[in-house]
A and B are shown apart, each in its own frame.
Chain A
Amino acid sequence: MTPGVTEISREIYGLHMEIFWICVIIAVIVFGAMIYSIVTYRKSKGAVADVTLVHNTTVELIWTAVPVAILVFMAIPAAKTLVKIEDNTKTDLSIKVTGFQWGWQYDYLDSGVAYFSRLDRQSDTARHLLSGIDPNSVDHYLLNVDKPLVVPVDSKVRLLITGADVIHSWWVPAFGVKKDAIPGFVNEAWFKVDTDKPGVYRGQCAELCGRDHGFMPIVVDVRSKEDFQAWLKQKAEEQKQAAAPAEASSATPTAATASTQSNAGTT
């Protein structure tokens, strides 16, 4: 695990390391006692069993109480971090994330920008059975998409996560965010990337979602606030232009298709 690029991910990393070292210390003591007993009290070394050692209330109370104290010590910082993670208020930007078989759809709720994000073409070609392409030669094999999610640094980005067909899970380790995308539910999650950490961060779907579960990566392109605004504006512009001629010319063909279909239905 890495500390990541958000305050939350660093706190999670800190918790992880703290519990890890507590476990290591307990392991050294307990495994030490086991190894000591195994080495010292061998019959082959003439050890004679002390059959009276069957019960000791003091010792048993101690080894019940001490773990309780350790657990409380671990639970308090964990609860604090959890409370922070669950604070979904005061966000700067809301993006709806929809998992589908097999990719992600991103909707920038305030600006109307929306697009799909799928495994990039190069990985998609290489991943087929006996494709003959060495995965090592592919740029970010299985962790690259055609259109990444673009977000600004130093902004509390709120994700509204849902699923279109089956359950998926949106996970970017560097942000410390993993949340299930469930049909019929809208889950909330948020992240705020450090000002000095723009860059590209990668993750994957983390809930089995069918045949191509292993092939629906997540890529987040974190840009400076100015760059992000420029990108958003340009994207909104592009989308408007792409939609306009389509709308103008779509009226008749759609009607025509509809009538063809209804004809087909009656015949």
Chain B
Amino acid sequence: MAEPHAHAAEHADSDHKPHGWRRWVYATNHKDIGTMYLIFACTMFFIGGAMAMVIRLELFKPGMQFVDPQFFNSMTTMHALMMIFGAVMPAWTGLANWMIPLQVGAPDMALPRLNNFSFWILPFAFFLLLSSLFVPGGAPAGGWTMYPPLVLQNGASFPMLIFSIHLMGVSSILGAINVVVTIMNLRAPGMTLLRMPLFVWTWLITAYLLIAVMPVLAGAVTMLLTDHFFGTTFFTAAGGGDPVMFQHIFWFFGHPEVYILILPAFGIVSEIIPTFSRKPLFGYEAMVYATASIAFLSFIVWAHHMFTVGMPLAAELFFMLSTMLIAIPTGVKVFNWTTTMFRGSLTFEPPMLFALAFLFLFSIGGFSGLMLAIVPADYQYQDTYFVVAHFHYVLVPGAIFGIMAGVYYWLPKWVGHMYDMTLAKWHFWLSTIFVNVLFFPQHFLGLAGMPRRIPDYAVQFTDWNMVSSIGGFGFGLAQLLFPYLIWKCVKSGQRVTSNKIWEGAHGLEWELPSPAPYHSWHEPPSDAVIARGAFH
């Protein structure tokens, strides 16, 4: 990582760390663990991305050219699991590990050994999941939503799926507990809750969501396990069970889960836009309350994922209205971000570019989300490519762009080197153009009647599928720039000298030297420093 002599000069006591593999396997330092989370997430992002490439390759034209339909189903299932649990969630935990102690003035995460454990569970969880590709019957192919009875038809991969989900859940819960305890107990004196940066706020709320819903998922998959192996019939109609109950339980986890994936991105964007507008965030408190409202609403909208399942009229009306309500706090956020730029002094460095793309493209995902809330219309959209387009708009230019914006924002602080701006802008423009070529046509496909999760399609869907696949290949290739750019930055990026790398940046992380010393905030920052950082 960074040159050791820099550490030695700045913090004589900070060089105390094991060397070689021990530094990583026995890691208890929040920065090391954060780095491992981020590298892990990036690796899973490329494996999940390769699976997406298989999907887009097979869908390039009608007819089956490359894979068996069962393997295709495995690819859609595994792509989702890898991206959600392997890429996005660990990336957020990695950013939380790196940034929360720096941002609240704490020396480390509150529970460093637990932190080590929650990270090191993950490689085993994903080794288990990925090795299911090589067992008889192939990898799980029943969709990441694991609906019974279909999921029970998986072969040897079924218990591997269940146990890997259990492990991921344990890791997430432990990580979330660590975040909550750190924020609640390790804030520097004077760092009141309403002085915290929004990334910390959104992560605090995310952590509560994780603690609330991951056990629900664990319960649901455990019931699947006992249905399969121990003769229970929780979800089997023949034994008096109810397959729809699984969907209710799953989406009671699943809807908060989508906010787990996106709320930290809201936080990052809420820090980047003020920085590059050189202006405090508009409506800081409204942003906090809007995030909390979204989190609350996420618990009472789950059945909008299953309107076609056959619910009573009253239930459908309730879930339609509660879902529509989410548009209000989300709208407040978008308006606040826009107003933050209004009468600002804007520059467009890579973090800002990604944050702006987030703002526009996440809003498009928000609009299609509003359309999906309308139950009668949802009957036509449900399980079509319109839904695929919707959730990819909120997750790729939403969550993934949020992560990339965060990395481009904080990378110089982590390594003490600036990255290649030109290359980063290439990465941005290629990603933004291709992500739209990839996902925008999928709205048309869905409205034209193409169901999701099909390996082959009627010939009238050919043209837009070809466009979408070309966008997919372009987006996939463009992402290769990202690890190269980071590697180049670490190896030979230009040394940054100032603490405050971006002119308009505020917050405690910018009060520390660059790179941030291995041990930081031994002495809590003074009230004046905290007040200077709380720029609102």
Contacts and interface: CB of A to CB of B under 8 A. Distances in A.
Given A78-B320, A129-B64, A184-B243, A23 B338 contact: no
B242 interface: yes
A155 B443 CA distance: 33
A14 to B, nearest CB: 10
Contact of B73 (A85, A134, A211): A211
B458 interface: yes
A53 B342 contact: yes
Contact of A78 (B279, B309, B364, B377): B377
Interface core residue of B150, B280, B379, B504 (most chain A CB under 10 Å): B379
B344 A16 contact: no
Q: How large is the interface on B (under 10, 10 to 19, 20 to 34, 35 or more residues)?
A: 35 or more
Contacts of A26: 367
A184 B64 contact: no
A198 interface: no
A154 interface: no
B327 A55 contact: no
Contacts of B345: 41-43, 47-49
A12 B380 contact: yes
Contacts of B346: 37-38, 41-43, 47
A114 interface: no
A12 B376 contact: yes
A51 B345 CA distance: 10
A64 B329 CA distance: 8
Contact of B279 (A51, A169, A187): A51
Interface stretch (B167-175, B193-201, B310-318): B310-318
A23 B368 CA distance: 8
Contact of A140 (B320, B339, B458): B458
B63 A63 contact: no
Nearest to B70: A211
B142 A208 contact: yes
Contacts of A64: 328, 331-332
B244 to A, nearest CB: 6
Contacts of A142: 62, 456-458
A127 to B, nearest CB: 6
A75 interface: yes
Interface stretch (A103-111, A171-179, A229-237): A171-179
B63 A127 contact: yes
A135 interface: yes
Given A38-B341, A127-B63, A74 B374 contact: yes
Nearest to A86: B313
Interface string A70-83: 01001100110111
B416 interface: no
B237 A185 contact: yes
Given A78-B374, A204-B451, A27 B363 contact: yes
Nearest to B456: A214
Contacts of B338: 30, 33-34, 37
Contacts of A208: 73, 142-143, 147, 150, 453
Contacts of B458: 140-143
A1 B380 contact: yes
B363 A30 contact: yes
B449 A173 contact: yes
Nearest to B504: A49
Contact of A214 (B286, B380, B454): B454
A38 B345 CA distance: 9
A247 interface: no
A148 interface: no
Nearest to A172: B449
B328 A68 contact: yes
B308 A54 contact: no
A221 interface: no
A63 B335 contact: yes
A62 to B, nearest CB: 10
Contacts of A75: 320-321, 324
Nearest to B69: A211
Nearest to B368: A23
Given A30-B335, A53-B282, A210 B153 contact: yes
Contacts of B375: 78, 82
A210 B143 CA distance: 9
A8 B332 CA distance: 34
B347 A41 contact: no
A166 B331 CA distance: 39
Given A41-B345, A55-B283, A171 B328 contact: no
Nearest to A44: B347
Q: Which of B66, B342, B359 has the most CB of A within 10 A?
A: B342
Interface in A104-160: 126-131, 133-136, 140-143
B63 A37 contact: no
13 contacts: A16-B377, A30-B338, A37-B338, A42-B346, A54-B281, A78-B377, A82-B375, A141-B62, A180-B309, A184-B238, A185-B243, A188-B310, A208-B150
Interface of A: 1, 8, 11-12, 15-16, 19-20, 23, 26-27, 30-31, 33-34, 37-38, 41-44, 47-51, 53-55, 59-60, 63-64, 67-68, 71, 74-75, 78-79, 81-83, 85-86, 126-131, 133-136, 140-143, 165-167, 169, 171, 173, 176-180, 182-185, 187-188, 203-215
Interface of B: 62-70, 73, 141-143, 147, 149-150, 153, 237-238, 241-244, 277-284, 286, 308-310, 313, 316-317, 320-321, 324-325, 327-328, 331-332, 334-335, 338-339, 341-347, 356, 359-360, 363-364, 367, 370-371, 374-377, 379-380, 382-384, 447-449, 451, 453-459, 504, 536
* Top 8 closest pairs, chain A to chain B, by CB: A184-B237, A214-B454, A187-B310, A37-B341, A50-B343, A135-B62, A23-B367, A49-B345
Given A128-B64, A130-B65, 9 more contacts: A12-B376, A12-B379, A15-B376, A30-B363, A41-B344, A41-B346, A75-B320, A78-B375, A171-B383
